[in-house]
């Protein structure tokens, strides 16, 4: 029968079955992976809000609107389509939300100029200058770096928890050492993912 250890219980980035009792060390690893994954999703969400030369529903769909006494996303209030490569058409399901949606877009700091057209809102995307494209690439690089820093903070917190478990005597030194390696693997894995998202977004921004 295998000895108690992290190896058989956990593999970075993969689903696994537990054959032993739930251990604090497993929970630390799972929590770290979950937080890193959420950080990656935050970076992707932020990238989606950065303009490129083409119209994209993802640019506005998550803008928050004051409607029905609550904060709601545009995608929850309207249909969003791209009738032309450089145009968005937002069609609210309730005409009463037309002006609140327009106001929310104007306040979003995305530099968009929504225009009400009967019962819909149209947004036209002018061609980005080379200077603006370079400016936007700097913005997404900063977002990516913030994401990397957040992932490393998760690693630091997880390592501190592992040290506490080791000092408490609940796990062996070998188990702690193996878990530390798994946390580093997770850190490297999610930083690579963020870098890949950055490369894709930069290409999207610079493509004319």
Domain count, the chain: 2
User: Average of pLDDT values for 68-90?
Assistant: 92
Average pLDDT, the chain: 85
Domain boundary residue, one of 124, 146, 177: 124
Same structural domain, 63 and 115: yes
What pLDDT shows up at residue 205? Answer: 86
Same structural domain, 39 and 100: no
Same structural domain, 120 and 135: no
| pTM given for the model | 0.68
- Order of all β-strands in the sheet with 78-84: 78-84, 87-92, 120-124, 115-117
Q: Using the predicted structure, report yes or no on whether residue 54 has a pLDDT greater than 70.
A: yes
DSSP codes of every residue in 133-161: HHHHHHHHHHHHHHHHHHHHHHHHHHHHH
**85 by DSSP, 3-state: which?**
coil
In a domain, 11, yes or no: no
Domain boundary residue, one of 98, 124, 150: 124
Domain of 84 in residue numbering reads as 57-124
């Amino acid at each position: 029968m295998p000895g108690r250890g992290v190896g058989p219980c956990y593999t970075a980035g993969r689903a696994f079955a537990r054959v032993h009792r739930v251990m604090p060390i497993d929970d630390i690893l799972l929590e770290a992976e979950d937080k890193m994954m959420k950080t990656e999703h935050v970076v992707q969400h932020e990238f989606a809000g950065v303009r490129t030369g083409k119209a994209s529903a993802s640019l506005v769909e998550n803008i928050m609107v004051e409607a029905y006494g609550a904060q709601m996303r545009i995608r929850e209030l309207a249909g969003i389509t791209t009738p032309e490569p450089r145009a968005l058409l937002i069609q609210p399901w309730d005409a009463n939300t037309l002006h609140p949606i327009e106001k929310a877009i104007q306040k979003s700091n995305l530099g968009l100029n929504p225009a009400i057209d009967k019962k819909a809102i149209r947004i036209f995307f002018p061609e980005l200058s080379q200077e603006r494209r370079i400016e936007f690439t700097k913005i997404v690089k900063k977002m990516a770096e913030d994401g990397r820093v957040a992932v490393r903070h998760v690693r630091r917190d997880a390592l501190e928890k592992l040290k506490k478990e080791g000092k408490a005597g609940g796990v062996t030194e070998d188990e702690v050492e193996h878990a530390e390696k798994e946390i580093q693997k997770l850190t490297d894995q999610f930083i690579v993912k963020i870098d890949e998202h950055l490369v894709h977004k930069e290409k999207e921004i610079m493509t004319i």
